[in-house]
A and B are shown apart, each in its own frame.
Chain A
């Protein structure tokens, strides 16, 4: 393959995560989903819990589910256990974010893995305008937080997981399409939302061929969350003074950033691809343990 060892390790990690998160293979045979207790825990990545083989829960879906229950905010203040569980999910995401930022995007997330694989398909390649990266923060705010918490379609019912309903391509690809196709028609009544989401999925998959990880950079609310937390993460990238700004790091970066220009970038997924690429060896990981990464001293 000609890739550096670090990158081969990363592909192995992504593959292993895909397998370990999808051990319930039987689900594909009979269009069922796993109902074991492991689904109390979230996968650190975007993978629908309605995927037939998934044995873990999706953190984004879980957040929407919890905050959309009636009386969620009140429940937080009174200590209702079905509200307090949000701390478990948010804490899980923050822990990863504060430890190593968007590292799971590079090393675990199945949908990120898919986009990287699609980009390898030879085609005309397009850059994504830098400002588009703001989109994912709006997706997080509006579709994961505000709408589920506030919008009510039916009186008495809770809210809806709007990110899952109108955006998430991982859900359509790994859950919606398999369940509808395997179960056959009649049982599942596919309607407008299914068509909409299928179109969104196809567009994103096509875009992934022409651009680097477009969903991760422009739409993913999980990436948005981890990116923000990652600005205060322990494990991060460092660029030394010896950098000559040649831009070779950007050429191989899976999220198309020039790390020397955006060292603390919320885009960086800590994949390490840029490290062997730098001709002067100016880039490295740091967890600040050897003292050299201490920002306050500089």
Chain B
């Protein structure tokens, strides 16, 4: 790779950094987020959020390592 006197380098390729990047197009990403929101809403509507509340509103002692 060519190095200038200032120390900066010419960057020939864009692909060398894509190791951990998933090439997912933006519309797909947005669709995934929308689907997740729909899942969340339907989960709260079809499901019984009281189930979450009931566990959260009563100390289950084992959960905190007591008793």
Contacts and interface: CB of A to CB of B under 8 A. Distances in A.
Which applies to chain B's interface (DSSP): helix, strand, loop or mixed?
A: helix
Contacts of B8: 244, 280
A176 interface: yes
A81 B64 contact: no
B7 to A, nearest CB: 7
B67 A191 contact: yes
Contacts of B24: 232, 295
A110 B14 CA distance: 37
A283 B47 CA distance: 42
Contacts of A58: 56
Given A180-B66, A196-B65, A296-B25, A57 B56 contact: yes
Given A39-B56, A50-B60, A82 B33 contact: no
A165 B62 contact: yes
Interface residues of A, number: 79
Interface string B1-33: 000000111010010011111111110111011
Residue from B42, B44, B57, B64 whose CB has the most chain A CB atoms within 10 Å:
B64
Interface in B21-64: 21-26, 28-30, 32-33, 35-44, 46-53, 55-64
Interface of A: 33-37, 39-42, 48-50, 56-58, 61-62, 65-66, 79, 81-92, 94-95, 97-99, 160-161, 164-165, 171-172, 175-176, 179-180, 188-191, 193-194, 196-198, 231-234, 239, 241-244, 260-266, 280, 288, 293-296, 298
26 contacts: A33-B59, A35-B57, A35-B58, A36-B57, A39-B57, A49-B57, A56-B56, A65-B51, A85-B44, A86-B43, A87-B39, A88-B42, A91-B38, A92-B40, A95-B37, A99-B36, A161-B63, A172-B64, A179-B64, A233-B33, A241-B11, A244-B9, A262-B20, A264-B20, A293-B26, A295-B24
Interface of B: 7-9, 11, 14, 17-26, 28-30, 32-33, 35-44, 46-53, 55-67
